Amino acid sequence: GNGKGRPKVLLLDDTFHNYFEPRPLEAAVVVLDRAGFEVEIPPRQVCCGRPLISKGLLEETQRYHAKLLDVLTPIIEEGVPLVGLEPSCIMTFRDEIPDLTRDPRARTIAQNSFTLEEFLGKLPDYSPGRLARRAIVHGHCHQKAIIGMEPTRKLLERVEGLEFRILDSGCCGMAGSFGYEE
């Protein structure tokens, strides 16, 4: 669409999806567009600093967070919600960044950051359409611990014809960067 008159949403092109696995970002653009939104990505690449935080390198995160606040705040203050595919990034926006930066702008970002499932699930008339398939869902550990899988379950229930089961599973072992290390 041409985006005229449609509400905007800011899709976070997080480091993992941007550099390693872009297809989910491309799919999210299609989904959000079909849901009636004009999709934008941040004008400059930003990082939540989660890998540094998980290694305890809190001072090193300061420049990431300063850039993130400078880039995202003006957009979010215009009423544009931030939607992310990586739950750990969204959790970092909500939890660690306000605490680590002590910057009031971080609270604004925290209050307007959502996972894709949370964002779409809040839309009362959103209908994802039909997908006559079966699916097994492995929840993201950080998401399970902080948000829970209820937003995912509620959204998947709206997909006509989809039979799904959310696994009661543990960690896949890829948390943080240690899954990539020797």
**And the tokens for 76?**
């979010």
Residues 109, 72: Cα–Cα separation, whole Å: 8
More confidently predicted of 85 and 54: 85
**And the tokens for 39?**
């999709």
Nearest in space to 146 (alpha carbons), one of 108, 102, 89? 89
Residue 91: CB atoms within 10 A of its CB come to: 23
**And the tokens for 12?**
């976070």
Residues 58, 128: Cα–Cα separation, whole Å: 40
Task: Quote the pTM value.
Answer: 0.86
**Mean predicted confidence (pLDDT) in 73-83:** 97
- Lowest mean pLDDT, pick from 68-72, 109-113, 153-157: 153-157
* pLDDT of the residue at 180: 62
* pLDDT of the residue at 173: 64
Nearest in space to 83 (alpha carbons), one of 7, 13, 30? 13
- Residues 20-62 have pLDDT tens digits of 999 999 999 999 999 999 999 999 999 999 888 988 999 999 9
- DSSP 8-state code for residue 160: B
Which helix (H) or strand (E) covers residue 163, if one does?
A: strand 163-166
**Mean predicted confidence (pLDDT) in 118-129:** 94
Residue 177: is its pLDDT beyond 70? Answer: no
Residue 100: is its pLDDT beyond 90? Answer: yes
pLDDT classification of 152: cutoffs 50, 70, 90: confident
